Every structure is written in C-alpha cells, then in structure tokens.
Structure 1
Amino acid sequence: MGLLEELAGNKAKARAAAKELNVAQLENLIAGFNSALEKVKEEESVRLAAEAEKARQAEEIAKIIEKSGLTLDEIAALSAPRTTTKGRSVQPKYRIVVEGETHEWTGRGRTPKVFQEYFDAGNSRESCEI
C-alpha cells in the first residue's frame, strides 16, 4: 500500500504526518490535492458522459435493428469482411507434358522456363490451356 493510500485511509496517521510540515507546506499540499481532486472529477465526468453517449447510440441502433426485422446474427453475417484471394492457391491455367513429365502454370508471374521454351518453339499459349 502506498503512503498516500495509507494516509487517506487513516486520519490519525494523516494528522501525525501533517505535524511534520509547516503551515505553508500544508497549504501547498492541500492546494495540490484540491487540484488533483478537480482533475479526477473532470475525468470522471468526461468518462460518464462518454458512457452515456455510447448507451444512447446503442439504444438508437437497437431501434434501427428492430425496425429492420433483421437479427443480430444476420447483421453479423452480412457485415463480415469479404474473403480475399490473397494467400490462396490459384488453379493452374496451362499444362504441358515434356519428356513424360507434366508441368502446370497458373499464368501469373514470371513464365517458367519449360513454358518459355515451349512458347519459343513456336507453340501458342492457347495450345496448352487446360
């Protein structure tokens, strides 16, 4: 427990500690505590006002949901982020067989050597489309 918490919880200890200070020091300490008290009260009122605003907004949203006839599950499903293809594998678009080995390529990115050699030999991309 900190010293301030101990003094705040026990008036006798606070009075005993105050006896060690002169009047100017006590007045300065009291002014500091009053300033801190005002700041804490102000922060608390801002927090309570924010909570009240959130409660008002939640009530407003609940009314809109009720009017719409949708359930929360339906709203969650409809507002879920769309899945992207990033990180997913893409089906191959081209396939060739060279010396008994099958090579596949999606058509994206740099052309693999085996496909480039195939194209350089006069073959077209359409000839190896899947």
Structure 2
Amino acid sequence: MATLIVILNTNQPVEYTHTNFSEAQYNQRVKSTRKYSMSTFRELLSSKTKLKADARKLAISELEKLIKALNEVLAAEKTKAAKKEEAARAANIRKINQLLAETGLDPEDLKKQKAGKGKAAARTKAKAKGKRAKVKPKYRLVVDGKEHLWSGRGRAPRVFQAHLDAGNTKESCLIEPAGTK
C-alpha cells in the first residue's frame, strides 16, 4: 500500500491511499508532484503580488513556520556552499603546492617576483583604470604670497598666462633651472 500526499490550493495537504499502484509508480507520482509544487513555488516567488495574495490566506502562525523553515533551508544551503568553496580552495592550494614542488620553486620566490614589480604594476594599474600618473610640477609662481604650480602640460593656468602676457618667460618660473641638473 502506498500513500500519496498532494497539496492543493487549500491550506491542508490531502492524503490519498491507494493499493493499486506499485512503489515505482508512487515514486514517479511523488516526483511529478514535487516538480509541480516547486514550479508553483518559483512562480509565487517571482511575483510579489501573487506571493502577498497567497500569504494573506495563511494564518500568522503558518507564515512564521514557513519563514522558519525557509531560514533553516537557507542556513543549510549557505553552509553547504561555504564547505564547497572551502574544498575548492583547498584543492587549488594543493595544485599550486604540487606545481611549486614540481618546478622546484619556493613560495618566497613568488613573493620576491611580486615585490620587484612595484612601479611597473602601479603604471599598469593606472593604465587599466584609464588614469594617468600625476606629473610633478615644472613651474612655480608666487603671487600675493600664494604659490601656484604647473606641470607645463596642457593649457596654462590664468596666473601663469597673465605672467607670460606681462612679457615674462616660462624659464623664469622653472623650479629646477636647466643648468642645475
């Protein structure tokens, strides 16, 4: 004798007991019922309006039981995912250690290699982000006690342009004159 539990649109599961189908037929019916209920569940979750409408049909205690059950399932799935991630990480570490052993390298060799790439890595990162490295100022001009700096690239700031328009040269504002290098 096999028992099949089907959940209809009502709040209570309906239990059918039938002796005319085998265990395999029972399992097939249970699987098809699970697929149907899971697709219905997904449909409810995808539509907030439908979910609210069906939740209104439930008593508060039933909603609390449902939330508790879902939280337990969520916690179990998170734990399972964390264990899977940790296992993958451990496998990667084993592979890397195996490669290091095969090549005769030491983890310190990797650290040394990484440390040598300081400036080049910074330039590469700056290029990847689309930002340019900051340029040191080449010209300095002090007006009314306030220092103005300019790299010499791009359009001249107003203070420098006014200084140049007054008949002065860029060389008079150089931070390091050419002869002192």
Q: TM-score range by the shorter chain?
A: 0.3 to 0.5
More strand by share: 2
TM-score, with structure 2 as normaliser: 0.36
TM-score by length of 1: 0.45
